[in-house]
């Protein structure tokens, strides 16, 4: 077993794990098991270029025309809603305890956005226990392989300062606790390591089970910690504190913000630093673009990787080779035990259980009225099928950009190969876009949707079930498709939804994080 996954192995507490999987299915499960996939020999050639699956709709979409009125409506910011962001900086939780109970250390799995939630929960747990928090340790994710630390990603001084009236935080443990390292917990069973925290544990669970550990050893190390603090029955001040961490205390380091800002600026001014064909495209379009949606852009978050494609068990139009490759992948990674594979592609689609392909998300955007002068920023890691799969989307939106096309090679060098920093830049650009749309639910989707709700920014939530059914109907004409799409997305543009008791405060920030206007 490679060094980096030792702690991850130790984490496998069966009960909690099983519960976590139930909660997180299907979007977490795929990445959890990917590392094995890297060793898998590629027996089948998967790169038969995937063909458009909806060529009839596509043909009409390519010739679409939208009126100025429609375009104006589309880009209009969200109207004020009943709930507004509160000034959380004024909201202090209970006073700092005179004396800290001891230290809390957490080790966080997952990608950037899952870790972000873990950080917020860690602050809340430290508050519940009157303990001092050590800056959370970010595990190296076996899929993303990024060793960036908290301080490499987030502005740590700002984090500590923003929360100074709420909890005490230290960057490092004092010398007497230097022994408390990741290696220490990875190599043996340790009495001060808490590994049985149930998924969505209550505040009392921490008081009953973790406080005694702190009192005995001076420090409690909690791992695993992802999704280990409940959303229901939590004191109001603890909820407010979680909001304050997520929406105010967590700010990316200056160079990530600067790069994000530069990309946003280029998207708004329609110049690219990259030379060549793309620039010519942009110049050609400038004339047409200036009239409508000028200086505005959409961020499309596209998570369409092999894990997700395989795990969904849907057919994505890559033909027999792709089908075999995905079935083989399911066999190797999950021994074929993938719930979705008991259903036909048609059944899965009509239930909205298939991630939208780049082609489908393109048709959705076109039907909603985005024309071919729309600035589209692709926030995406890797698309299964590569450019062949993206080309249909690009034909609908020739002004499509991403980190690679917009940033200079010097700029890219700062974040190259660092999945968390790349994700941070995408998060920043997503937060600053006029419109955000995500092709698949998951941690990034939830985090950005929640944060944009908090700032009352427009976010389109695809109606997966409706789209699944529409794409199945091969006799649907473009006007019928368009009318159904528009009708089905009227109330999915960022209208605020109130959190239900067990839902995440980070995805549904109202009412807990927001104030009644
Ligand atoms: C953009 O759409 C217009 C209107 O349908 C069309 O005339 C034009 O050729 C399109 N441009 C490209 C590059 O597809
Ligand atoms: C934490 O401190 C507050 C205020 O000082 C106190 O009311 C509360 O009981 C303490 N909680 C624990 C778990 O020590
Ligand atoms: C497909 O769409 C057409 C036109 O709206 C409709 O008449 C037909 O009932 C639909 N077919 C199915 C199977 O839903």
Domain end, chosen from 249, 264, 286, is at 249
270 and 171 part of one domain: no
137 and 223 part of one domain: yes
Domain end, chosen from 234, 249, 264, is at 249
d(CA 171, CA 158) in angstroms, rounded, equals: 12
> Residues with Cβ < 8 Å from 413, sequence gap 6 or more?
none
- Of 353, 337, 392, 307, nearest to 40 by C-alpha is 307
Note whether residue 165 is domain-resident: yes
- pLDDT at site 187: 94
475 Cα to the center of ligand 3, angstroms: 7
199 and 288 part of one domain: no
Domain that holds residue 76: 51-81+254-516
What atom of ligand 2 comes closest to residue 207's alpha carbon? 13
Note whether residue 10 is domain-resident: no
- pLDDT at site 450: 96
For the entire predicted model, the pTM comes to: 0.86
Note whether residue 281 is domain-resident: yes
Q: DSSP states of 189-201 as a string?
A: --TTEE--PPTTB
The residue whose CA has the least distance to atom 12 of ligand 2 is 129
- Of 104, 129, 133, nearest to 211 by C-alpha is 129
Q: Which residue among 280, 372, 374, 400 has the greatest number of ligand 1 atoms within 8 angstroms of its CB, and so is best to mutate?
A: 372
d(CA 258, CA 263) in angstroms, rounded, equals: 9
Note whether residue 70 is domain-resident: yes
120 and 146 part of one domain: yes
237 and 258 part of one domain: no
197 Cα to the center of ligand 2, angstroms: 21
Ranges of the chain with pLDDT below 50? 1-44, 271-283, 287-291
243 and 368 part of one domain: no
- pLDDT at site 156: 98
134 and 186 part of one domain: yes
Note whether residue 307 is domain-resident: yes
310 and 364 part of one domain: yes
**Helices vs strands, H then E, count in the chain:** 26, 13
Q: How far is CA 80 from CA 299, 455, 457, 494, 516, in A?
A: 22, 10, 10, 11, 11
**CA-atom Rg of the chain in angstroms:** 24
465 and 355 part of one domain: yes
- Any idea what the CATH number is for the domain that residue 231 is in? 3.40.50
181 Cα to the center of ligand 2, angstroms: 28
> Residues with Cβ < 8 Å from 35, sequence gap 6 or more?
5, 142, 143
Note whether residue 41 is domain-resident: no
Number of Cβ within 10 Å of residue 204's Cβ equals: 11
206 and 152 part of one domain: yes
- Of 461, 395, 436, nearest to 300 by C-alpha is 436
* For helices 254-269 and 419-431, angle between their N-to-C axes, nearest 10 degrees: 50
285 and 228 part of one domain: no
CB 305 within 8 A of CB 381: yes
- pLDDT at site 294: 80
- pLDDT at site 34: 33
Note whether residue 35 is domain-resident: no
Number of compact structural domains in the chain: 2
The residue whose CA has the least distance to atom 2 of ligand 1 is 372
Q: Which residue among 473, 474, 481, 487 has the greatest number of ligand 3 atoms within 8 angstroms of its CB, and so is best to mutate?
A: 473
Note whether residue 31 is domain-resident: no
454 and 475 part of one domain: yes
- Measured from the CB, is residue 466 less than 6 Å from ligand 3? no
């Amino acid at each position: 077993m490679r060094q980096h996954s030792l702690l991850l192995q130790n984490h496998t507490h069966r009960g909690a794990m099983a519960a976590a999987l139930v909660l997180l299915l299907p979007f977490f499960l795929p990445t959890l098991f990917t590392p094995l996939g890297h060793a898998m020999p590629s027996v089948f050639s998967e790169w038969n270029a995937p063909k458009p699956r909806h060529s009839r709709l596509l043909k009409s979409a390519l010739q679409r025309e939208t009126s100025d009125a429609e375009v104006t409506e589309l880009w209009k910011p969200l109207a004020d809603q009943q709930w507004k962001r509160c000034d959380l900086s004024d909201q202090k939780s209970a006073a700092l305890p005179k004396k800290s109970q001891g230290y809390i250390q957490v080790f966080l799995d997952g990608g950037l956005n899952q870790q972000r939630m873990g950080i917020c929960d860690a602050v809340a747990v430290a508050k519940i226990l009157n303990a001092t928090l050590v800056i959370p340790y970010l595990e190296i994710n076996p899929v993303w392989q990024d060793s960036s630390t908290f301080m490499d990603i987030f502005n740590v001084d700002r984090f500590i300062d923003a929360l100074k009236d709420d909890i005490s935080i230290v960057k490092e443990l004092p010398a007497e606790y230097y022994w408390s390292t990741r290696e220490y917990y990875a190599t043996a069973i340790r009495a001060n390591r808490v590994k049985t925290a149930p998924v969505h544990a209550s505040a009392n669970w921490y008081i009953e089970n973790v406080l005694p550990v702190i009192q005995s050893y001076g420090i409690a190390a909690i791992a695993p910690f992802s999704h280990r603090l409940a959303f229901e029955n939590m004191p109001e001040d603890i909820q407010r504190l979680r909001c304050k961490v997520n929406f105010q205390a967590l700010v990316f380091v200056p160079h990530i913000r600067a790069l994000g800002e530069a990309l946003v600026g280029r998207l708004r001014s329609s110049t690219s630093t990259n030379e060549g064909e793309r620039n010519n495209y942009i110049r050609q379009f400038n004339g047409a673009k200036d009239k409508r949606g000028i200086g505005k852009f959409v961020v499309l978050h596209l998570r369409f990787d092999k894990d997700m494609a395989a795990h969904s068990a849907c057919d994505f139009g890559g033909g027999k080779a792709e089908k075999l490759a995905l079935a083989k992948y399911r066999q190797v990674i999950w021994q074929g035990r993938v719930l979705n594979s008991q259903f036909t592609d048609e059944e899965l689609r009509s239930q909205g259980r298939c991630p939208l392909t780049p082609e489908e998300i393109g048709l959705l955007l076109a039907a909603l009225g985005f024309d071919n002068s729309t600035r589209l920023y692709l926030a995406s890691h890797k698309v299964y099928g590569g450019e062949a799969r993206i080309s249909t989307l690009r034909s609908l939106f020739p002004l499509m950009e991403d980190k690679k096309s917009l940033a200079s090679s010097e700029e890219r060098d700062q974040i190259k190969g660092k999945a968390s920093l790349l994700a941070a830049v995408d998060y920043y650009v997503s937060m600053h876009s006029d419109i955000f749309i995500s092709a698949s639910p998951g941690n990034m989707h939830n985090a950005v949707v929640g944060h944009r709700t908090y700032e009352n920014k427009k976010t389109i939530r695809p109606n997966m079930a409706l789209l699944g059914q529409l794409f199945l109907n091969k006799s649907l004409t473009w006007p019928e498709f368009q009318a159904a799409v528009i009708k089905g997305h009227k109330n999915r543009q960022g209208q605020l939804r109130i959190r239900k008791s067990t839902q995440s405060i980070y995805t549904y920030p109202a009412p807990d994080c927001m104030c009644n206007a």
